Chain A
Amino acid sequence: MIEVDNVTKTYKRGPAEVRALRGLSCRIPPGVLTFVVGPSGSGKSSLLYILGALDQPTSGEVICQGQRLTQLTVKQRDVYRRDQVGFVFQNFNLLANLSAVENVLVPYFPQGVTPARQAEAIELLKRVGLGDRLEHRPSQLSGGEQQRVAIARALLKRPALVLADEPTGELDSESGAQIYRYLRDLRDEHGSTVVIVTHDRTHIQPADNVLSLHDGKLA
């Protein structure tokens, strides 16, 4: 269970002060696909990045898997991101000079990549239909293929929490539907909690949890 309690997030953009979140409180149940929807500027991405410990709230409390994210040290946040959170970004965020397999293994480079983990990375890429693209660089892959590499990178951790920021924003509808299938498979197989920020409501199913944001609060 993820608990978000009265969270605010304010940041400076030039001389202006932006209030991205304004006392947001919500509960995200485990093992469920949660969609965060709302207009641009409603605070969707800010919430996602706070859940992933990429950003800190200005005030309020966030508890993920029993951990108070606001009280974690920098090092604990690094470990939390590495071991418990899988990120899928709109613009893929793959490293251009690494192959598909290396991109999947990136989180584990500092600790050293074991043969077992390398084999697992290859297996995951095969599973997302990229068995013949293992050594390709991101520039040699289509947008949908790059996003599948990003999903394999998130899958390798077997994360408790997957955070996806507009994961199909730069993809055609067929590739987009495929990405959602992989995200649902991930939830089904590992019981991961999947939180997806999106403008596109077409992939929401009746069993999914939907958080609708407006002006930094639940609408």
Chain B
Amino acid sequence: MTGIGVSIAFVGIVNTMLMSVTERFIEFGVLKANGWSNGDVLRLISFESGLLGLGGGVVGCALGWIATHAVNAHWPTRIHLYAGPRLLASSVCFSIVLGVLGGLYPAIRASRMMPMDAIRRG
């Protein structure tokens, strides 16, 4: 179950970042024309996908925390779920790592593009 969830999140981040990179093709070309290195572009996109992971992680943890309280309140005698600060913090960290990893392939693609291609399109 966890594996399926992680896979869906990973594919979602890759897909979102690929779309973002494709839409911003000209922007990356302009940055490279102005002296940004491949590494600079790679870091920018990895940072953005890390932020996406952070946002998803925070929202997911908040929803999870609310859900555990709701379930515990609904079935007080049958279930007692617990999401402590350590679990929530590690989940957010894991989301960030997942975000960065999911953004790597789109980042590498964007960093290797030729600025000329973007400028001709622009």
Contacts and interface: CB of A to CB of B under 8 A. Distances in A.
A54 B31 contact: no
A102 to B, nearest CB: 12
Nearest to A154: B34
Interface string B25-68: 01100111111111010010000000000000000000000000
Secondary structure call for the B interface? helix
Given A49-B116, A93-B122, A54 B37 contact: no
B116 A95 contact: no
Given A54-B115, A106-B31, A91 B37 contact: no
A107 B40 CA distance: 11
Contact of B30 (A52, A93, A109): A93
Contacts, number: 54
Interface in B89-112: none
A115 interface: no
26 contacts: A49-B119, A54-B115, A55-B116, A74-B37, A75-B37, A78-B32, A78-B38, A79-B35, A81-B32, A81-B33, A82-B36, A83-B35, A87-B34, A89-B122, A91-B122, A93-B26, A93-B33, A94-B30, A95-B30, A96-B27, A106-B31, A107-B34, A109-B36, A109-B40, A110-B40, A153-B34
Interface of B: 26-27, 30-38, 40, 43, 114-116, 119, 122
